[in-house]
A and B are shown apart, each in its own frame.
Chain A
Amino acid sequence: MDQILGNISLLFEFPVVNLKIVIDGLMIGALFALAAYGLALVWGVMNVKNLAQGDFVIAGGYVAWYLAKLGLPPLFGVPIAFVIMWGIGWVIYKTVISRVIERDLFTSLLATFGLAIMMAQIMNLLFGSDTQSIQLQYDTLYMFDGFVDIPIAKLLGVAMAAALAAGVIFFMKSSRMGQAIRATAQDARAARVLGINTEKVYSFTFSLNAAICGAAGAIIVMVWVIQPFYGITYSIRSFVIVTAAGLGNLPGVIAAGLGIGAAEQYGAHIFGIGYQQAIAVLLLLFVLIYRLIQQKRLRQSLK
């Protein structure tokens, strides 16, 4: 308790620390938002709650790490991870997801859960269980007497995440496929009646999700560390963010992602870093309770 009070008083004693916490939080939040956006897509369009979301992220990270080890410039890892994970996503859709998509919720949960375990173990066998990261040779910017440090690698990562998000939004708004995806999300049957090939939409959406996650992972490996069994961290965050923001609410997903990043950093500062993930889960609980109350009052359905 004393330590918690001491930590809070530090925030007031050194106000600049708040800035540092918020910046750190927003940076990691941007990557959470990316993975969550992919989840929102799959969830909204196909009604598949993908528990292997985090493992796609980690797989993308390993693709980038492996390429960097072969001597490729690390930044190229991001687009290449996007492409390779697209392919892996497509294969997974054709072999697993397409078989469970029409089944009930439980089947698809079970299938993606199994997928998550499989992927983690395959990565473990391929790359070993050590933590890996790519060290970029960029400087770190220091401000406010060195209290706020912004590694340029992190800035680059956030910029790439933003560019990717913008690209995907533009694609969804303006392309034929984007329209078809949105139509399928609204009503798959109606879309089929109107001549949209929903099977194609599904496989495209799932591949796109894997690709987005892969790019996010490729960024993560440059700024943080990855390990074959770290997927669950990103899966949990994605679920929290999507549940909080609601499906089909893109600005909401981004805001929730950034918010959760910042809230976690504050939680880690005040309660200790061991409670960082607990903060995320606690937030989920609050959101669910709030949603339930809201639903009761307005008789809405939780979409």
Chain B
Amino acid sequence: MNKTISALGCLASASLLMTQPAFAADCETITLGSAISLTGKYATNGVHAKNGYEFAIKKIADNGGVKMGDKCYNFEVIYYDDESKGDRGATLAERLISQDKVQYMLGPYSSGLTKAIAPVTEKYKIPMVEAEGASRSLFNKGYEYLFAVLSTSEQYLASAVALAAEKAEAEGKSPSDVKVAIAVENDPFSLDIRAGVQEDAAKYGMNVVIDEQLPRDLSDMSAILTKVKLLKPDLLVVSGHSKGAATAVRQIGEQKIDTPMIALTHCEAADVVGNFGAAANDILCSTQWAETLTYEDEIFGTASNYEKEFKTEYTEYTDKKVPYQTAQASAAVYVFKDAFERADSLDKDKVRDAIAATNLKTFYGDIKFAEAGNNIAKPMVLRQIQDGEYNVVAPSAFASHPLNWPRKP
């Protein structure tokens, strides 16, 4: 019995030694922690985020690691599966901090989970850089240790309102004649989108003719679309994660909805082009990031270079687009690298202050945090599906293609 144990011990230590990669031999390790959804309803996107973290860690290690003075460090992350459940996420954050003694955290997937974990990291004063929680309700709680690299969710579709106003003016109409229809899911993220659209619509004096909330298990929205047919809005906004996008595009095609402008979230996640083809044409989709944008940095190169290298590393993405959820996860790790180097210390409070002072250009966009911790330097992008391609059409500074308007049903 004893022999077996010692044999096993030998094996284990041998395998430990063997897995140490060459570049890491002379660098020490900084351990980050993350509770992330590997099972449950957010599993797909949770895995996208985790891949983004891991890819960034590898890229940073390949580029000489995190350099502080004459020392160098590599990141390592302890992951726990939060099962897409908030209470589980909070428990795991406790465990990471008090048992595993993690001093720095990477965020979970989704606003809901981030909301559950932020109070814990705040209590222990652990800096957390998150990349997947966009709800603005995260940034009005006075959290001091929470930072987000992505744009907050009320900005997702607000630019569609500006675009609709622009088109109304071009037609010789007043923007206040524009009628808006809103259908969003009843969750913090989508309600933010609704708030953003409502605020911007109110600014132009637009009339919101439909304002409905989609159920969580949506599979049929013909009731709303029938109303759209009757009330003829000029802009239809739908947000309900990938099921919302899939249901909307399918039924918009079936019911021949002829609204001149339709804007959605999560088009890529629902693969509306692959699934529904022509029905998806001329639909506007919001995105945090696109590989065609002209951002770049010294670790990842340009945005398109990021996509290319990521695809070689993770072959399961070969036939699809690299989702922005992955890109922003990588950007979050990059923020940590930059902050550690500037702080020149492993002290978590110094690191926190360094993160707060971040002013970084990355392949994902510029990153600069407001007092509340949200990134104010990066705009949201609207892409239009034109003949099956996602082309950037707004904001105009980044637009690669003109907008097709009105859309052809």
Minimal Cβ-Cβ distance residue in A for B277: A135
Question: Is B95 in contact with chain A by the CB < 8 A criterion?
Answer: no
Docked CA distance A129–B215 (Å)? 17
Minimal Cβ-Cβ distance residue in A for B244: A131
Question: Is A272 in contact with chain B by the CB < 8 A criterion?
Answer: yes
Contact segment of A96-104, A224-232, A244-252, A294-302: A224-232
Give, as a whole number of angstroms, the nearest-CB distance from B253 to chain A: 8
Give, as a whole number of angstroms, the nearest-CB distance from A51 to chain B: 16
* Residues in B176-224 with C-beta less than 8 Å from chain A: 183, 186, 211-215, 217-224
A269's partner among B42, B215, B223, B255 (CB-CB below 8 A) is B223
| Contact between chains at A273 and B223 (CB < 8 Å) | yes
Contact segment of A143-151, A180-188, A197-205, A282-290: A143-151
Q: C-beta contact mask, B33-45 vs A, less than 8 Å → 1, else 0?
A: 0000001111111
B246's partner among A124, A225, A272 (CB-CB below 8 A) is A225
| Contact between chains at A272 and B275 (CB < 8 Å) | no
* Residues on the A chain within 8 Å of B42, using CB: 129
| Contact between chains at B212 and A147 (CB < 8 Å) | no
* Residues on the A chain within 8 Å of B45, using CB: 129
| Contact between chains at A129 and B270 (CB < 8 Å) | no
Give, as a whole number of angstroms, the nearest-CB distance from A235 to chain B: 11
Contact A274/B186 with A14-B230, A28-B220, A130-B242 known, Cβ cut-off 8 Å: yes
B230's partner among A17, A227, A229, A230 (CB-CB below 8 A) is A17
Question: Is A10 in contact with chain B by the CB < 8 A criterion?
Answer: yes
* Residues on the A chain within 8 Å of B214, using CB: 273-274
B39's partner among A20, A125, A220 (CB-CB below 8 A) is A125
Give, as a whole number of angstroms, the nearest-CB distance from A16 to chain B: 10
A-B contact count (CB 8 A): 109
Give, as a whole number of angstroms, the nearest-CB distance from A123 to chain B: 11
Question: Is B137 in contact with chain A by the CB < 8 A criterion?
Answer: no
A225's partner among B227, B230, B247, B269 (CB-CB below 8 A) is B247
Give, as a whole number of angstroms, the nearest-CB distance from B95 to chain A: 22
| Contact between chains at B254 and A151 (CB < 8 Å) | yes
Give, as a whole number of angstroms, the nearest-CB distance from A274 to chain B: 4
Give, as a whole number of angstroms, the nearest-CB distance from A29 to chain B: 12
* Residues on the A chain within 8 Å of B211, using CB: 3
Give, as a whole number of angstroms, the nearest-CB distance from A229 to chain B: 5
Question: Is A128 in contact with chain B by the CB < 8 A criterion?
Answer: yes
B43's partner among A124, A131, A224, A272 (CB-CB below 8 A) is A124
* Residues on the A chain within 8 Å of B217, using CB: 227, 229-230, 232-233, 277
Docked CA distance A233–B41 (Å)? 15
Q: C-beta contact mask, A259-277 vs B, less than 8 Å → 1, else 0?
A: 0000001001100111011
Question: Is A133 in contact with chain B by the CB < 8 A criterion?
Answer: yes
Give, as a whole number of angstroms, the nearest-CB distance from A5 to chain B: 14
| Contact between chains at A273 and B41 (CB < 8 Å) | no
Question: Is A7 in contact with chain B by the CB < 8 A criterion?
Answer: yes
| Contact between chains at B242 and A147 (CB < 8 Å) | no
A17's partner among B213, B226, B242, B254 (CB-CB below 8 A) is B226
| Contact between chains at A128 and B213 (CB < 8 Å) | no
Question: Is B232 in contact with chain A by the CB < 8 A criterion?
Answer: no
Give, as a whole number of angstroms, the nearest-CB distance from A280 to chain B: 11
| Contact between chains at B44 and A130 (CB < 8 Å) | yes
Minimal Cβ-Cβ distance residue in B for A54: B217
Docked CA distance A192–B246 (Å)? 51
| Contact between chains at A128 and B43 (CB < 8 Å) | yes
Question: Is B342 in contact with chain A by the CB < 8 A criterion?
Answer: no
| Contact between chains at B223 and A265 (CB < 8 Å) | yes
* Residues on the B chain within 8 Å of A227, using CB: 41, 217, 243
Give, as a whole number of angstroms, the nearest-CB distance from A150 to chain B: 9
B250's partner among A7, A13, A14, A225 (CB-CB below 8 A) is A225
Docked CA distance A142–B222 (Å)? 15
* Residues on the B chain within 8 Å of A17, using CB: 226, 230
Give, as a whole number of angstroms, the nearest-CB distance from A72 to chain B: 17
| Contact between chains at A130 and B269 (CB < 8 Å) | yes
- Which 4 A-B pairs have CB atoms at the shortest separation, nearest pair first? A268-B223, A274-B213, A131-B243, A224-B219
Hey, which bits of chain A sit against chain B, CB under 8 A?
A: 3, 7, 10, 13-14, 17, 20-21, 24, 28, 121, 124-125, 128-131, 133, 135, 140, 142, 146-147, 149, 151, 220, 224-230, 232-233, 265, 268-269, 272-274, 276-277
Extra contacts, 19 of them, besides A124-B41, A224-B219 (Cβ < 8 A), are A13-B230, A17-B226, A17-B230, A124-B39, A130-B270, A133-B246, A133-B250, A133-B275, A140-B254, A147-B226, A220-B219, A225-B243, A227-B217, A265-B223, A268-B224, A272-B212, A273-B213, A273-B224, A277-B217
